[in-house]
Amino acid sequence: MMLRNAIVGAFGVVFLLCLWGAAQGNAPWGAPLVFGVLVAALVFERRRYSAQAGADPREPLAPTRERFIDPESGRPVQVWTNARGERRYVEEPPAGA
């Protein structure tokens, strides 16, 4: 997330510099348009896909035999999927539970 914010900030600064140059008559208007579209796409892309990531699946999920150890938590995780290819990673309960 931090890298994404740095990229958005860098494109925003370049956009403002291009816009300033074009407003002064020292540069063509093509560059501000391109960087403006890029900044808008980067800002609004996160909103569009983050809403879908947390949404409930449209079809019921079924457990698969695929299991792995989560590298961040070190806990076992089981993969659940449905016919649409949607996947969820469900942490398995401890062996004693």
User: For residue 76, how many other CB atoms are within 10 A of its CB?
Assistant: 15
What is the C-alpha to C-alpha distance for residues 5 and 34, in angstroms, rounded to an integer?
Answer: 19
**φ, ψ at 45 (rounded to 5°):** -60, -40
pLDDT at 28: 86
pLDDT at 76: 92
pLDDT at 67: 92
pLDDT, tens digit only, all 97 positions of the chain: 688 888 888 888 888 888 888 889 887 888 888 888 888 888 887 776 655 555 566 778 899 999 999 988 889 999 999 888 888 888 888 776 6
DSSP string over 78-89: EEEE-TT--EEE
pTM: 0.45
Q: What does the domain layout of the chain look like in residue ranges?
A: 2-53, 62-91
What is the C-alpha to C-alpha distance for residues 57 and 88, in angstroms, rounded to an integer?
Answer: 9
